[in-house]
Structure 1
Amino acid sequence: MKKIAKTMLRLLLWIIAIIVFLILICFVYHRYRLTVEEKLRKPLGQLIDINGKNMSIYVEGSGSKTLVFLSGAGTCSPILDFKSLYSLLSNKYRIAVVEKFGYGYSDIVDEDRNIQTILSETRLALHKAGIDGPYILCPHSMSGIEALYWAQEYPDEIEAIIGLDMSVPECYKNIKINLSLMKLGQYASALGITRLIPALSESDAIKHGTLTDYEKNVYRAIFYNRTATVTMINEAKSIKDNARIVEQNGVPQVDMLLFISNGTGGTGFDKEIWRRITEEYIKEVKSGRYVELDCPHYVHDYEYRRISKEIKNFLSD
């Protein structure tokens, strides 16, 4: 028995050594690829200094109305993620894409992500970039909480909210945030293990949007550098508290147009529940309307043509 136990222990140690060796190779290759891909990660927009850290803002087009796009949780490249949609709008409106800390070309910060801080950073970045309100906010997913809070705290700055399958406070009442899985993704990204599964980098924007081949490569390069960042994780930790604050402040009475998906692709809800939550919320808005879309959560990567037409009609009313 002792001989068998020693053999098993020796085998286990060999297996561990092989795994460690393979992870080391993966990590070294990952660091090499990050260096090679650096030329693909040159900022597409402006880098604005916010308390000693850089926040990325991309501006395109001109017009009397300013549409501010705010990304959902974990979207590694907001500028490219929204491109299929805003490229159809920038001939008529000024477009601004704000990449929060931890996203896209913005710096990663390990700080509390309470709603007051997030909004103050967004507003300051826009002000420093010379992009003044009033704004038409176009939030996707979790950024809906920030948009609603913005309309509650600074109603004079918000002309309207156009929700791209945006979340509302009730979405976070009972949902479980899997922080362990996010931490696992963070470690996998840091070690380069995500490169072993190329499908992970194939976002909806890449598969269904209008990005060029070069832009797709840029998106992939950003993905390998901005996956499950500590900022994103801290944001997830704070979302329930942030949603609770927004709920307590009531429903802001601002013009709203909400696009609602079929619930697949990242909402955590089935179709009926996801749509019910949003539709019940918009009923409390006097000048609110919604459009149901039969597509996954990243609606702007699927139905960008229809959404752009609906937005133009909404803003021309």
Structure 2
Amino acid sequence: MTQQEKKRTRNGTRTSKVLKILLKIIGAILIAIMLFVAIVFTVNKISNHSEQKKVEPYGQFVAVDGKKMNVLIQGKGQETIVLLPGYGTAAPALDFKLLIDELTPYYKVVAIEPFGYGLSDETEKERTTENIVNEFHEALQQLHITRYTLMGHSIAGLYGVEYVNKYPNEVNAFVGIDSSVPTQPGMDVKFPLTLFKFLKQSGLQRFLVNVDSDPYASLLFDDKTKEQMKMIMNKNANNNTMLNEMKHIASNFKEAQKLTFPGNLPLLLFIQADNTSVEGWLPLHEGQIKNSVHGKVVTMDGTHYLHHTKFKEIVENLRKFQAEIK
């Protein structure tokens, strides 16, 4: 064997050893990943089963479209406030707790948990605005609530504009809490539904929530409420009903662009003062009230969830507004 042949043989042997080492490393990494996913999946299954027993019921169930919808009613005021949540708020009645407690001395408060949210059932019915609005209304009909102020957070602004046009004789006013506007930009986005479904089913969603910072940690909720909200979030986040609603977001926004709030309907819109994620946030809301006989925009420093920190100011401004329009 020539020197050149010997050199090629040695090089080939080294290459073979390096490949074997690389394959062992890759194999070990793949085994570690599969083991991690298996552990996360198992922990999620066990935790879901355990947490279901720890979730404490609140509110009451009403029959809507053959299913159970959870509604929390608090307070005995002569005027009624109906609260509608933003998209993905896992436990709406608990998430609104600070605001509800502040409203209760003056109003009867009705917090509706849509299908797929809170303690309500899931549904296979498509999450179009029409279906969601019909379900809200059916819940109120079952409770014999026929006159009220509609107060909604985030995407409830989208559902709210259809609701007040469909049931104008029932709604006294609409109050938005950083509420969505049908014409806001960027709502034609296509969401990675398959990825979200995988995160849910694999248990990785729970893992990511646990390693992330607690969004409720610095807020004034009591520890028990925080714990309950976290358990319900682990159960509900990215469930099939919510993902179906997400699938319809673009089409629901497009459909709503032809609607406006009735000119004779009082409008009070609380909005985040420094919203950098949606271009023209303030002008969009000012446009909604420009044709209203009684319209007002109130800017507030805070996050999108203004009711977590500005609940006192919201109630104070609401009472003043109602006194002005009487």
Q: TM-score, normalised by structure 1?
A: 0.89
C-alpha separation between the residues in 1 aligned to 2:213 and 2:244? 22
Match of 2:237 in 1: 227
The alpha carbon displacement at 1:121 in A equals 0.8
SS of the residue aligned with 1:268?
Answer: coil
Match of 2:4 in 1: none
- Which amino acid in structure 2 is aligned with residue 188 of structure 1? L
C-alpha separation between the residues in 1 aligned to 2:37 and 2:72? 36
Check 1:199–1:290 CA distance in 2 against 1; reply closer, same or farther (3 A cut): farther
Give the aligned length: 308
Match of 1:299 in 2: 306
- Which amino acid in structure 1 is aligned with residue 136 of structure 2? T
Match of 1:279 in 2: 286
**Percent of pairs identical after alignment?**
29
Structure 2 unaligned segments of length 5 or more: list them: 1-14
C-alpha separation between the residues in 1 aligned to 2:223 and 2:289? 38
CA contact (8 A) 2:219 2:308 kept: yes
C-alpha separation between the residues in 1 aligned to 2:220 and 2:144? 26
C-alpha separation between the residues in 2 aligned to 1:183 and 1:34? 21
C-alpha separation between the residues in 1 aligned to 2:95 and 2:212? 15
SS of the residue aligned with 2:110?
Answer: strand
In the alignment, does 2:155 pair up with 1:142? yes
CA contact (8 A) 1:162 1:257 kept: yes
The alpha carbon displacement at 1:161 in A equals 0.4
CA deviations on 1:221-253 (whole Å, 9 max, x unpaired) are 111111122222221222232223332133322
The alpha carbon displacement at 1:113 in A equals 1.0
SS of the residue aligned with 2:292?
Answer: coil
- Which amino acid in structure 1 is aligned with residue 272 of structure 2? S
Match of 1:257 in 2: 268
Residue 211 (structure 1) aligned to one of 208, 216, 221: 221
Match of 1:268 in 2: 277
CA contact (8 A) 1:27 1:191 kept: yes
Match of 1:237 in 2: 247
Superposed counterparts of 1:14-93, under 5 Å: 14-93=28-107
Match of 1:159 in 2: 172
SS of the residue aligned with 1:249?
Answer: coil
The alpha carbon displacement at 1:67 in A equals 0.6
C-alpha separation between the residues in 2 aligned to 1:23 and 1:121? 38
C-alpha separation between the residues in 1 aligned to 2:266 and 2:38? 53
Structure 1 unaligned segments of length 5 or more: list them: none
CA contact (8 A) 1:101 1:109 kept: yes
In the alignment, does 2:177 pair up with 1:177? no
Q: TM-score, normalised by structure 2?
A: 0.87
Check 1:296–1:184 CA distance in 2 against 1; reply closer, same or farther (3 A cut): same
The alpha carbon displacement at 1:316 in A equals 2.7
- Aligned alpha-carbon RMSD (Å): 2.1
Moved more, 281-290 or 189-198: 189-198
CA contact (8 A) 2:271 2:282 kept: yes
